Amino acid sequence: MTINQFNTQNLNVGQKLAIKYFSVAVVLFAAQILFGLIAGLQYLQPDLFYGVLDFNVNRTVHINAMIIWMLYGFIGASYWLLEDETGISIVGIKWGHFSFWLLTVAVIIVVLVYLFIQWGPGTDATIWFINEGREYIEAPRLADIGIVICMLIFFYNVAATVSKGKVTGITGVLTLDLVALAGLYLAGMFYTTNISLDQFWWWWVIHLWVEATWEVLVGCIMAWGLITTLGASRKIVTTWLYIEVALMFGAGILGLGHHYFWIGTPEYWFTVGGLFSALEPIPLVAMVVHAVYDSGKHGFKSNNHPAMAWLIAHAFGNFFGAGVWGFMHTLPQINLYTHGTQWTASHGHLAFFGAYATIIIAMFYFAVQKWRGGVTIRGDLVDSGWKWKWSLALLNIGVMGMTIALLISGYEQSQIERAIGGSTWLGYFQAQIHPWFVEGLVWRQIMGYITALGFILLVWDLLTIGKKEPLELESKVA
Amino acid sequence: MNKNKIWWSSEQFWKKTAIWVTALMFVILIFLSFDTINKITVGSNRVPSYSVINKQISYKFDTKRNFQVPVISEQDSPLFGKKLTEEQAEKLVTHGKKIVQGRNCMNCHTLLGNGAYYAPDLTKAWLDKAWGDEKYREQLMINFLMEPEKNARTFGSGRKMPNLNISKQEAQAIIAFLKWMSSIDTNGFPYNFNAISQGEK
Ligand code: HEM
Ligand code: HEM
Ligand SMILES: [Fe+2]
């Protein structure tokens, strides 16, 4: 029996770089889950690591690891498909490797500082070197500059390669989208005492990333995935991509207003934000229709079943996490009570996992397949593929379970704290000690362990899948 | 079927639509942002100047707007009994905000409803009834911030705020920031907030 080892000879220049990004992404994903579990446990046992590794530290690592592993996943995915799309080798690949190491060293330092220094005095030096104290973009200013440099190098590589090679609809959209994605980061890079203005710009980064530029980026990855795995028609897929861009930006840009209800900003945002954000689910429905239709039309015939399954999981996860869960609390009449409660956390988990974690996991499967020399990985593997099937199931059940548990706690909290208790110190804790709330958090923790189990299985599977399978060429008949 | 003749299935049509829709929405957003930034600069109606910490602030129901709004009284009620100039007030609030960032308060608490959900929202913390009486509020807040473990309430949850090594001076700056933040017009969020005795009686 043949053993297909991981061999970088099987990869093109961009893909060799991509697997580096993917590898670090998996490690950071592990860190995210570990620190999420600790933070979740502190809700149930507040004395755990009290005064040593406090909730805010764990939460910072949890959500920062997430943002960074997803960015690594996106950069890796772009490098992965660039050569296929443009037909030429990446232009500045040396710089690509350089910026990979720069970014990785920076990330390691930032995490160590979060964990061991944790805080600083109220000076500019703290903001520059320790912690900026703003959710998701806590990274100190110096690290921000490093991130911007790496993003610029990455952008140069994409833009230069695309402009020299063949410009396709996918790479055209991808290039323009990356300009916006990197540019938006700058909106989060200055200090202001005015907390209203602070939050105004902060949402430019967070919302216009996840509900505009990231959505379009994964739209590009999806389009490429449908063409390569299923042989879908490029013309149709590209047309769909343009429709999705029009709908996503058409609704998502002004949908930003759903974060401007309560931060000091004027009342017209009730109308603008409520209306446009309520339209945001439309492109997400279109994406599901598109993915499922294309897959069905091609009879789900693919030589990479796990990747295919995760792409479908992405389409549905995006629709439910962002579209349904987002829509449920997006109108100001509801958001007045759900704003800043476990409701928000429920949506945040399903949306980030469903929309982004899923599609990057699909990329991991594309990567290991080719890295092993183009093996066929279907449902009928030698070990019947139990690992990928179980990790797919456990991860999705786990996150969905956490989402529902948090939703129940969130309902209780918006009722008892926000509506009745008036969101005072006392009102807050009346909601937190209510049995319905506590039960929700217990179930979140249980479902968190299931998620973690699924993740461990995923890593094991990625390291072993396809090792003993026939190469694609030999099994073309099926 | 001739693909080229159906306009709504043409790649070119959707490409152009995507570009124009994006551009249009972006222009509208820029336009609204300019307007909004104007309306939320410090010293505007919605976001009062930092010297508001010299005044008494309360949170009252406005029948016209149908929700509670911050009300700033005419008479002085300077924070820590010291009336500050606009510059001094700005310096103090700025110091407070930077401490809030440096200590990473927002990964336990929410401010204006944004942040983490492990601890109470601080938007109107200055006006919280749990401080008992306006007379003791400043001292109680200083005590709490400096020694949150000794002054813990937790209301049966056992969830305490850790000691973050906050000095008296830093506590005062934080409280200035919290007092100023409570004066921002947040369109009635938090709803139904039962504020500390507001001297109306
Ligand atoms: C994949 C896309 C999306 C992701 C990853 C995402 C993620 C998130 C996250 C993490 C938050 C919490 C932010 C915080 O920490 O304060 C949030 C808030 C929110 N999201 Fe989304 N979201 C997505 C799409 C949507 C969509 C399509 C809608 C509406 C239809 C929506 C509506 C909202 C609203 C209203 C809030 C504010 C919640 C509050 O007031 O506390 N989201 N989103
Ligand atoms: C494996 C088990 C996990 C546990 C136990 C967990 C736990 C937590 C906890 C305790 C918080 C803080 C919420 C708060 O402030 O009260 C949090 C926040 C968050 N987590 Fe997780 N998490 C897990 C996995 C994940 C995964 C897989 C994702 C997405 C891929 C994710 C995305 C997020 C996001 C976006 C937030 C911020 C939410 C917001 O501010 O609304 N987490 N998580
Ligand atoms: Fe949003």
The residues, any chain, with a CB within 8 Å of residue A240's CB and separated by 6 or more, are A223, A286, A290
Q: Is A426 on the interface with B (CB under 8 A)?
A: yes
What is the tens place of the pLDDT at every residue in A284-311?
Answer: 999 998 888 888 888 777 889 999 999 9
Does B10 sit within 8 Å of A239, measured CB to CB? yes
Same domain as B27, residue B61: no
In the predicted structure, residue B1 carries a pLDDT above the cut 50: no
Predicted confidence (pLDDT) per residue in A24-38, tens digit: 999 999 999 999 999
Q: Please indicate, yes or no, whether residues B81 and B17 belong to a single structural domain of this protein.
A: no
Together in a domain, B12 and B97: no
- CB proximity list for A386: less than 8 A, separation 6 or greater: none
pLDDT in tens, B29-82: 999 999 999 999 999 999 999 999 999 999 999 999 999 999 999 889 999 999
pLDDT grade, residue A330 (50/70/90)?
Answer: very high
Q: How far is CA A164 from the centre of its chain?
A: 30
**Which residues 113-152 of B are in CB contact (within 8 Å) with A?**
113-121, 124-125, 128-130
pLDDT tens profile A426-476: 999 999 999 999 999 999 999 999 999 999 999 999 999 988 877 655 444
A249 interaction partners in chain B (CB closer than 8 Å) = 18, 21-22, 25-26
Instruction: Tell which wins on pLDDT, B90 or B9.
Output: B90
pLDDT of residue A472: 57
Close Cβ partners of A390 (under 8 Å, ≥ 6 residues apart):
A454, A457
pLDDT recorded at residue B48: 98
Claim to verify: residue B131 and residue B74 sit in the same structural domain: yes
- Distance between first and last Cα of chain A: 20
What per-residue confidence (pLDDT) applies to A381?
78
Cβ atoms within 10 Å, residue A336: 22
Question: Which residues constitute the domain of residue B146?
Answer: 51-182
Share of chain A above pLDDT 70, in %: 98
Cβ–Cβ of A131/B41 closer than 8 Å? no
Q: Which of A208, A211, A331 to mutate to test the pocket of ligand 1 (most atoms within 8 A of CB)?
A: A211
Mark whether B23 and B67 lie in a shared domain: no
pLDDT for residue A383: 80
A202 CA distance to ligand 1 centroid (A)?
Answer: 13
Mean pLDDT of A4-21: 93
Within an 8 Å CB–CB cutoff, is residue A36 touching chain B? no
pLDDT in tens, B139-168: 999 999 999 999 999 999 999 999 999 999
- Over range A234-243, report the average pLDDT: 93
Domain identity same for B13 and B77: no
- Tell me the sheet residues that pair with B72: B57
A358-389 pLDDT, tens digit per residue, is 999 999 999 999 999 888 888 777 788 899 99
How many other CB atoms are there within 10 angstroms of residue A477's CB atom?
A: 4
Closest ligand 1 atom to Cα of A323 = 27
Q: What is the pLDDT of residue B45?
A: 95
Question: Which of A5-19, A229-243, A355-369, B2-16 is least confident?
Answer: B2-16
Start-to-end Cα distance in chain B: 79
Q: Establish if B187 belongs to a structural domain.
A: no
Report chain A residues whose CB lies below 8 A from the CB of B10.
239
Looking at residue A225, its amino acid is: G
Mean pLDDT, to the nearest integer, of A392-412? 98
- Bond into B48 cis (ω within 30): no
Span A123-169, pLDDT tens digits = 999 999 999 999 999 999 999 999 999 999 999 999 999 999 988 99
Q: Residue B45 domain-assigned?
A: no
**Is the CB of residue A420 less than 8 Å away from at least one CB of chain B?**
yes
Distance CA A38, CA A254 (A): 36
We find that the CATH architecture of domain A1-166 is Up-down Bundle (1.20)
The average pLDDT across B107-136 equals 96
Q: Are residues B58 and B35 in the same domain?
A: no
Residues B18 and B112 occupy one common structural domain: no
CA A102 to chain centre: 22
Q: Does A195 touch chain B (CB under 8 A)?
A: yes
Place of tokens 């049509």: B13
* Burial environment of residue A65 by CB neighbours within 10 A (0 to 12, 13 to 18, 19 or more): buried
State how many domains chain B has: 2
Residues B34 and B81 in one domain: no
User: Whole-number mean pLDDT of chain A?
Assistant: 94
Residue B106 lies in a domain: yes
Residues B154 and B103 in one domain: yes
Can you give the residue ranges of every domain in chain A?
1-166
Is B194 part of any domain?
A: no
- Sort out which chain A residues have CB atoms less than 8 A from B158's CB and list them: 46-47
Of B10, B97, B104, the CB nearest to A193: B97
**Residue B132 shares a structural domain with residue B165:** yes
pLDDT value of residue B67: 96
- Report ipTM (2 d.p.): 0.96
CA A58/CA B159 separation, integer angstroms: 16
